[in-house]
Amino acid sequence: MASSAPGQAAAPNGDSGHSSLRKQLDAARQELSDATGRGQGGRAALAQYADTIDGLVATLFTGALGDAPTAVVLALGGYGRRHLCLHSDVDLLVLFAGPLDASDEVRLGKFLHPLWDLGLVVGHQVRQLKDFTRIEADNPEFLLALLDARPIAGDRDLFDRFTATFHRAPLHAHLLDALLTLTDERHAPFNATFYQLEPDVKAAPGGLRDLAAVRAIARLTDPALLRQGPSDSARLDEAEEFLLRTRSILHLDSKRNQNVLSHAVQEKAAGLLTYPGALPQARVERLMGDYFRHARGVARWLEWIRRVAPVPVGPNLVKSADGVRFLDAGVAASHPDTWLSAFQAAIDCATAVSDDTLSSIQEHAERFTERDFLLDPTRRDAWLEFLKPRAGLYARLSQMHDSGLLGRILPEFGAITCRVVRDFYHKYTVDEHTLLAIRTVERLAAPPASPGPQPRERERFASLLLDLDRPELLVLALLLHDIGKARDEDHVSESVRLARGIFERLALPAEAREVVEFLIANHLQMSMIAFRRDTEDPETVRRFAALVGVEERLKMLCLLTLADVEAVSLETLTPWKEELLWRLYVDAYNQLTLGYGDELIDRSQSELAQFLAARHGDLTPEEISRFLEGLPRRYLRLFDREAIERHVRLARDIHPDTVHVSLEQKGSAWELTVVTMDKPFLFSNISGVLSSFGMDILRGHAMTSPNGLVLDIFQFTDSERFLELNPDARDEFVAVLDNVVSGLVDVTARLRGREQSLVHRRPPRVTPVVHCDNHASQRYTIVEIVADDALGLLYRISRVMSQQGCDVDLVLISTEGHKAIDVFHITQAGAKLSAAAQDALAARLQRLLEEDHEVD
């Protein structure tokens, strides 16, 4: 197509309408050729030619698709800019509102065929609107051409919808990136210099594409840049006029889309552009002198704008040298719900929020109340997301506080601004103490590069932070732990009272509320016990463990205490105190994970009575008691009422060989709950089924009551999205689980294929640890295992235990990054293991973990 010269093509299909179009086209081409011959084939002439093509396209489009089409035709790229040279491609996008049907295809043909018949070189794309909701990363040229999209005919509303869909910050950022890469690639064959003796006026450095790039960068980042720049923007216009006039001559002379100003054409071009001079050589020199002057101007602009252009980092947000700022401060001023995103973007880009943006926030913040900032669930989620501990959180929170925004979002925090509480210890105002405590957590998450590596003593606390499921709740608790100090009363209960109001505004889910409230209410407990109580007394530890209940809360309270104490003054948190804190943590952790099997729910407990009193109507006290009695008391701490009631229902009508299962999606993870009766190899079979589907088990609990009822809960990720993408996946999964548990299918065979593909994929990162303990529990031998997380690990470990004749009664499963930490409570013939049996089991497990993958 590109080689067929327009004007020489056959007449379109003998249609009289089309022959009139042919006449219009020929006349327009003649007019452009004449102007080019006079050296005036510049912007005005090209725009006039583009207008004629617009007319043809509109006529044909309306003719083919009717007066009220559900489509719009857009001019793209150079044609969109109305810089259409004689042999330029006519780039079009036909955009439909929805999917195309067969009749649309026919109509499309009726529109496009005459254009081809007219001999135009049409580059066309056909899309539907929803194609633009996701970034099409593999076609940057097309996306960049869309920047100049201009509607010619069809549904204008559709064009407006396209504009709204297309012009989004993430896409702008992507386009900017793509544009810079393409520009570098385009410059490479020219050795990145504009001093070309035979320049390509379109592609060479300083040419028309560079000029378009300057404007595109301004459009994508800050249009006001075009009014600044290394020279007057009129210089750009002059350069454009010169380059287009020259390009028109090249097209006219070569009769094709040829853009190289070769030695052979330079003389003719100099003549047509009426450069003075007695000799051709003198005229050519003047022409090329002008060319280099313009190319230099364009190249400088491009170099400048690449250097100074802010990078789009979010809606109405850009990153410049002085930090993240609003592109349009006026728009931002009336949308306080968007302000948080400036701070979020600053953290993401490892920079600050710019001073002018802070001033603007400070100026307008007072016009709004706390409700205006947390308008909807998205904003509230964004607020919690913002609190995730990572580098820059303290600095951005401080900026937010200094600008008055933090105190507007959380007036309760605003009330402790510069609050002085006199005691012997605190060295900073209450607000700064709070922010410094958050800095301690931030530094655990992202240790500062200087002044040296994080001390080993801190790494152990950092590992707790890594393990937290929702570290942002720890930061929220820190932010609120001292807000009660605004009054002179008991600050802990006042902080809790105020925090409850904040939970309401944040619409925090009940589970998160409980955690944060627990942390605030108990924020002085751990330091008091660690530093002032006899922690060598097992009763002290037992009571403290009972207070925290579960490991997650223990870890959070430990970190909160560390941060709170450190933020009192530089001298408060001594290595001595750190050691005491850590020791209490370890003792309580061991109490929670190793000792919990001895504390069972029984009928006489008040917890059980309370639960029964508030039970849901369909549940009888008998079935609840039957289910709960004999399970570890820890169970009541781990799950909320709703979950426990679900488990009770799941346990209804359970018989040997029946398996009751529920499978739920929980955020990015899944949760499998299994209720059945105990039997040998049960735990390894269930974990084996999960692994055979490629599921990565993150955490879980397995519990067995003395009457043989088993409750296993696994949280896992499904990285292959098997469950999400396949409609029958759940049924298949449950069927396999049923068959494996009842012994109809051997899970080892199912697993073999998967494991072989994973064997030896990576070297071990964790030295495996197997530790047996016969003292921590009165009833169980406890096996603690720390190893590299690997597919099927739980299955293999528990299978070995079963093969050794052990009953797996209780299991705690957790994962920290790539490290699996599993605690098994086991028995052999109803009793703890003998020393010999322990040694034999430990040796087999150690060998298994060292061999990494053993399938037998």
Partner 1 sequence: MKLIKCIVRPNKVDEVKDALSKLSVSGMTVTEVRGHGKQKGHTAIYRGKEYNVSLLPKMEIEVVVPDRLVHDCIKAVIEAARTGEIGDGRVFVMPVEQSYRIRTGERDID
Residue ranges that bind partner 1, judged by CB under 8 A: 531-537, 574, 576-577, 579-580, 583, 586-587, 589-590, 769-771, 773, 784-786, 821
Given the complex with partner 1, which of 383 and 461 has the nearer CB atom? 461
CB of 576 to partner 1, least distance (A): 4
Q: Which class for 65: exposed (0-12), middle (13-18), buried (19 or more C-beta within 10 A)?
A: buried
Report residue 290 as tokens. Answer: 């002008």
If DSSP codes are grouped into helix, strand and coil, which group holds residue 679? coil
Token duo for residue 633: 């008391």
Q: How far is the CB of 535 from partner 1 (least distance, A)?
A: 7
Least distance CB 769 / partner 1 (angstroms): 4
Q: How near is the Cβ of 528 to partner 1 at its closest, in Å? A: 10
Closer residue to partner 1 (CB): 218 or 785: 785
Residues contacting residue 552 through CB under 8 Å, at least 6 positions apart: 468, 469, 515
- Kindly tell me which of 709 and 787 has the beta carbon lying closer to partner 1: 787
User: Is omega for the bond preceding 451 within 30 degrees of 0, making it cis?
Assistant: yes
Residue with tokens 């999606």: 665
Rounded Cα gap, residues 514 and 273, in angstroms: 80
User: Closer CB to partner 1, residue 360 or residue 593?
Assistant: 593
CB of 849: closest distance to partner 1 in angstroms? 11
At its nearest, how many Å lie between partner 1 and the CB of residue 594? 9
Cβ closest to partner 1, residue 589 vs residue 611: 589
Tallying the residues shown for the chain, one arrives at: 856
Q: Which is nearer to partner 1, 215 or 553 (CB)?
A: 553
224 burial type by CB count under 10 A (0-12 exposed, 13-18 middle, 19+ buried): exposed
- 667 strand-pairing partners: none
Minimum CB distance to partner 1, residue 821 (Å): 6
Strand, coil or helix: what is 616?
coil
Task: Give the nearest distance from C-beta 544 to partner 1 in angstroms.
Answer: 13
- Tell me the C-alpha distance between 661 and 673, whole Å: 6
CB of 632 to partner 1, least distance (A): 20
DSSP sequence for 400-426: HHHTTHHHHH-HHHHTTTT-----SS-
Residue 586 Cβ vs partner 1, minimum distance, rounded to whole Å: 5
Structure tokens at 477: 């608790």
Nearer to partner 1, 165 or 540 (CB): 540
Smaller CB separation from partner 1, 243 or 821: 821
Q: What is the gyration radius of the CA atoms in the chain, in angstroms? A: 36
Dist. CA 520–CA 535, nearest whole Å: 22
Cα distance from N-terminal residue to C-terminal residue, the chain: 65
Tell me which amino acid residue 195 is: Y
Could you tell me if 597 and 780 are in contact, meaning their C-beta atoms sit under 8 angstroms apart? yes
> Does residue 319 contact residue 363 with C-beta atoms inside 8 Å?
no
Closest CA to 242 of 198, 304, 294: 294
b/e burial code for range 835-856 (CB count within 10 A of at least 16 → b): eebbeebbebbeebbeebbeee
Comparing CB distances to partner 1, the nearer of 441 and 594 is 594
In the bound state with partner 1, the residue whose beta carbon lies nearer, of 660 and 844, is 844
- Nearest residue (CB) to partner 1, 110 versus 771: 771
Nearest distance in Å: CB 845, partner 1? 11
Would you say 341 and 381 are in contact if contact means Cβ atoms under 8 Å apart? Answer: no
278 versus 425: smaller Cβ distance to partner 1: 425
Q: Which is nearer to partner 1, 537 or 640 (CB)?
A: 537
3-class secondary structure, 37: helix
Identity of the residue, 296 or 533, whose beta carbon is nearer to partner 1 in the bound complex = 533
Closest approach of Cβ 663 to partner 1, in Å? 30
Determine the Cα–Cα distance for residues 50 and 248; give it in Å rounded to an integer.
Answer: 13
> Can you spell out the DSSP letters for 453-521?
SPPHHHHHHHHHHHH-S-HHHHHHHHHHTTGGGGSSS-HHHHHHHHHHHHHHHHT--HHHHHHHHHHHH
Q: Tell me how far, at minimum, the Cβ of 850 lies from partner 1, in Å.
A: 15
DSSP 830: T
Taking the C-alpha atoms of residue 544 and residue 535, their distance in angstroms, rounded to an integer, is 10
**Strand ranges, E, within 272-421:** 311-314, 317-320, 323-326
| CB contact at 8 A, 711 and 647 | yes
If the CB atoms of residues 786 and 837 are measured against partner 1, the closer one turns out to be 786
Sheet bearing 323-326, strands edge to edge: 311-314, 317-320, 323-326
- Return the number of the residue (609 or 769) whose C-beta is nearest partner 1: 769
| Residue 108 to residues 77, 101, 126, 555, Cα–Cα distance (Å) | 21, 11, 9, 64
| φ and ψ at residue 710, rounded to 5 degrees | -115, 135
User: Please, what's the b/e burial string for 370-402 (b: 16 or more CB within 10 A of its CB; e: otherwise)?
Assistant: bebbbeeeebbebbbebbbbeebbbbbbbbbbe
How near is the Cβ of 568 to partner 1 at its closest, in Å? Answer: 15
- Check: CB of residue 248 under 8 Å from CB of residue 85: yes
Q: Compute the least distance from the CB of residue 125 to partner 1, in Å.
A: 58
3-state secondary structure at position 786: strand
| Contact of 209 with 186, CB cutoff 8 Å | yes
354 vs 814, beta carbon nearer partner 1: 814
For partner 1, the closer of residues 424 and 576 by Cβ is: 576
